[in-house]
Copies of this chain bind each other. A is one copy, B any other.
Amino acid sequence: MKTLTTISELRAEIAQHRLQGQSIGLVPTMGYLHSGHASLIERAAAECDLVITTVFVNPLQFAATEDLSSYPRDAPGDSRTAAAAGADLLFLPGLQEMYPLGREGVLTSVSVNELSAVMEGESRPTHFAGMCTVVAKLFNIAGPCTAYFGKKDFQQLAIVQAMVRDLSFDVELVGCEICREPDGLAMSSRNVYLSTEQRAAAPVLAQALVAAARSLSRGETSVDRLRATMMDVISTQAIGQVEYLEVVDPITLRPLTQADARSRFFGAVRFGSVRLIDNLDLSELDLDSNAAISQ
Question: A residues engaging B (CB < 8 A)?
Answer: 7, 11, 99, 106-115, 132-133, 136-137, 140-141, 143, 162-163, 165-170
How far is the CB of A191 from the nearest CB of chain B, in Å?
31
Among A108, A110, A136, A165, the one with the most B-chain Cβ atoms within 10 Å of its Cβ is A108
Contact A111 B109 (CB under 8 A): yes
How far is the CB of A105 from the nearest CB of chain B, in Å?
8
How far is the CB of A156 from the nearest CB of chain B, in Å?
14
11 contacts between A and B (CB under 8 A): A7-B168, A11-B170, A107-B162, A107-B166, A108-B163, A109-B112, A110-B136, A111-B111, A133-B166, A137-B168, A141-B168
User: How many copies, total?
Assistant: 2
Contact B167 A140 (CB under 8 A): yes
Partner of A168, one of B110, B140, B165, B168: B140
The distance in angstroms between the C-alpha atoms of A113 and B162, with both chains bound, is 22
Partner of A140, one of B11, B112, B114, B169: B169
Contact A167 B137 (CB under 8 A): yes
A-B pairs with lowest CB-CB distance, top 4: A108-B166, A140-B168, A137-B168, A108-B163
The distance in angstroms between the C-alpha atoms of A107 and B111, with both chains bound, is 8
The distance in angstroms between the C-alpha atoms of A4 and B295, with both chains bound, is 55
Inside 8 A of A137's CB, which chain B residues have their CB?
166-168
Q: Which residue on B lies nearest to A109, using beta carbons?
A: B111
Given contacts A108-B132, A140-B167, 13 further A-B contacts (CB under 8 A): A99-B166, A107-B162, A107-B166, A108-B110, A108-B111, A108-B163, A109-B111, A110-B110, A110-B167, A133-B166, A137-B166, A140-B169, A143-B170
Inside 8 A of A111's CB, which chain B residues have their CB?
108-109, 111
The distance in angstroms between the C-alpha atoms of A108 and B116, with both chains bound, is 10
How far is the CB of A40 from the nearest CB of chain B, in Å?
22
The distance in angstroms between the C-alpha atoms of A167 and B7, with both chains bound, is 12
Partner of A167, one of B108, B112, B114, B115: B108
Inside 8 A of A115's CB, which chain B residues have their CB?
107
The distance in angstroms between the C-alpha atoms of A170 and B141, with both chains bound, is 7
Inside 8 A of A113's CB, which chain B residues have their CB?
107-109
The distance in angstroms between the C-alpha atoms of A140 and B7, with both chains bound, is 18
Inside 8 A of A162's CB, which chain B residues have their CB?
107-108
Given A108-B110, A108-B162, A110-B108, are A133 and B167 also a contact pair (CB < 8 Å)? yes
How far is the CB of A133 from the nearest CB of chain B, in Å?
7
Partner of A106, one of B109, B133, B166: B166
The distance in angstroms between the C-alpha atoms of A84 and B168, with both chains bound, is 29
Among A11, A143, A168, the one with the most B-chain Cβ atoms within 10 Å of its Cβ is A168
How far is the CB of A88 from the nearest CB of chain B, in Å?
20
